[in-house]
Structure 1
Amino acid sequence: MADNKSSVLTVSIVTPDGEVYSNDQVTMAVIETMMGDLGILANHVPVIASLRIGETRFKFNGNDMDTVAVNGGFAEFSNNTLTIVADSAERKGDIDVSRATHARERAEQKIKDAQSKNDTDALKRAQVALQRAVNRINVAQH
């Protein structure tokens, strides 16, 4: 009979503020890379990928799942260990939807202001802030 450890992944998400997520019983991970979604099962080939702003999902035996809002960074997978180094990340249960909604509204206003001033740098920053806020809201509501 196969060892259960050979069919699971160890996952860790770290940010500049410290570890956000850690679990050694993940059966499947889905990460949002710059090239599209990537599903990772045990014994997947080693990979390094840049991450876009999006949700990262972890599945366990049965239908249990964890979701984390990841805001950029990179992922490295080898030897059944997935390490995500993110600019910022929040677990689904830690997201303050009210705060994220206010952040979305601020970003939308900054986009309007930047467009009216033709400020491309401010526009790009505001668009990223909007993506992050929307990602946090989406993760919290799923």
Structure 2
Amino acid sequence: MAHLKVEIVTPDGLSYENPEAQLVVVRTIDGELGILPNHAPIIVPLSIDEVRIKNDRDSKEQDIVAINGGIMEVRDNILTIIADSAEKPSDIDVSRAERAKQRAEEIIEEAKKEHDIDQLRRAEVALSRAINRINVSRK
């Protein structure tokens, strides 16, 4: 039976590796995408979300990694994700993520008052990242 070798790489190096995955689910900018062994070659941009990796498609057991967007390439049963950051639930500092969420919400309110579109967009991305980290930490 074919497997997927999964690698998640950040500027700090290899963040996650699994040589025996049977299913990987990611969120692209166009929606959710499931990758099985022998998938056609593909390169897609990823959204801020979790990556779910299963060694057995029928099992509920899975590895979850929070990523802050990035790019995924699948070729020859090797799935590579290049992201700015990637964290497993046990690596997430929840109190830090909560503080980042609160800061982003405050900046969003201020940017709306000042009609600062650039600051608003940056704060919305920061808020998405914080919420993603908080959600993944609970899994």
Normalising by structure 1, we get a TM-score of: 0.93
Answering whether residue 78 of structure 2 is matched by residue 57 of structure 1, we say: no
Corresponding pairs, count: 137
- Aligned mates of 1:114, 1:20 — CA distance in 2: 34
Cα distance in 2 between the residues matched to 1:120 and 1:63: 42
* Structure 2 residue 28 is matched with structure 1 residue 33: yes
Q: Distance in 1 between matches of 2:120 and 2:99?
A: 18
Aligned to 1:132: 129
Cα deviation 1:47-95 (Å, max 9, x = unaligned) = 1100010111001134321001111110000111000001221112111
- In 1, the alpha carbon distance for the partners of 2:89 and 2:75 equals 26
Offset of residue 24 of structure 1 = 0.4
Aligned to 2:109: 112
Q: Identify unmatched segments of 5+ residues in structure 2.
A: none
Partner of 1:123: 120
CA–CA separation in structure 2 for the residues paired with 1:100 and 1:18:
22
Match of 1:72 in 2: 69
Q: TM-score, normalised by structure 2?
A: 0.94
- SS in structure 2 opposite 1:64? coil
Whole-angstrom distance in 2 between the partners of 1:125 and 1:84: 23
**Structure 1 unmatched runs, 5+:** none
- Superimposed CA distance per residue, residues 105-127 of structure 1 (whole angstroms, 9 cap, x where no aligned partner): 01001101111111111110000
What's the offset of the Cα at 1:11? 0.4
Structure 1 residue aligned with 2:41: 46
8 Å contact kept, 1:32–1:55: yes
Matched residue type, 1:13: I
**2:50 aligned partner, one-letter code:** E
Say whether the 8 Å CA contact 1:66–1:92 is kept in structure 2.
Answer: no
| Residue equivalent to 1:100 | 97
